[in-house]
């Protein structure tokens, strides 16, 4: 039985920002206004994430350069983690480094083996300014690191080197959504 509102139900699905857009490669600004516009942004992020069948979404992925992300992601024990973080800081990323498949709503349909730590801790605040600490392990730790990277102006492709990077860039060049510069 569900207790409380369903995130995204009142949100608007927004267009996704795709690889190649400078917004994805520019660090996002701190949120300073914790009013109704921020609440609408969080709702829109959830609505857009669910519509695109993702497990996380950062604000710059819908063209808003603010430090906000949402998530609805399981960990390796299939425990669901649902929430949002405003002005996050990655305070821990440690444990075992695991290379696993990683995709992104800003690179639709593509994925590559990307190395991430299997433990991460994010500190920030909620949309109402309440402090929050989010601990993630396994798949959820990967999600937290991925979304945090977006706010720093990085995408998972930036972590790839050698043949993995070259292969992904060839796939991007052939993707129907790719717009050459």
Choose, from 30, 77, 102, 147, the residue flagged as catalytic: 147
- Is the CB of residue 100 less than 8 Å from the CB of residue 118? no
92 is catalytic: no
Give CA–CA dist 74/20, Å, rounded: 29
Which residues lie below 8 Å from residue 130, measured CB to CB, with a gap of 6+? none
Give CA–CA dist 181/60, Å, rounded: 19
> If 0-12 CB within 10 Å is exposed, 13-18 middle and 19+ buried, where does residue 57 land?
buried
| Catalytic (active-site) positions | 147
């Amino acid at each position: 039985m569900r207790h409380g509102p369903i995130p995204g139900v009142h949100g608007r699905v927004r267009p996704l920002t795709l690889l190649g857009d400078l917004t994805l490669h520019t660090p996002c600004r701190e949120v300073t206004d914790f009013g109704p516009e921020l609440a609408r942004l969080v709702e829109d992020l959830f609505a857009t994430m669910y519509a695109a069948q993702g497990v996380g979404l950062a604000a710059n992925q819908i063209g808003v350069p603010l430090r906000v992300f949402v998530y609805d992601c399981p960990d390796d024990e299939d425990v669901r983690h649902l929430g949002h973080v405003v002005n996050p800081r990655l305070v821990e990323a440690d444990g075992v480094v695991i290379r696993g498949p990683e995709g992104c709503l800003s690179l639709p349909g593509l994925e590559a083996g990307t190395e991430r730590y299997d433990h991460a801790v994010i500190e920030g605040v909620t949309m109402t300014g309440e402090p929050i600490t989010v601990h993630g392990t396994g798949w959820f730790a990967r999600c937290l690191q991925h979304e945090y990277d977006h706010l720093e102006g990085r995408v998972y492709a930036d972590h790839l080197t050698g043949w993995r990077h070259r292969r992904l860039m060839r796939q991007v060049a052939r993707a129907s959504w790719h717009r050459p510069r």
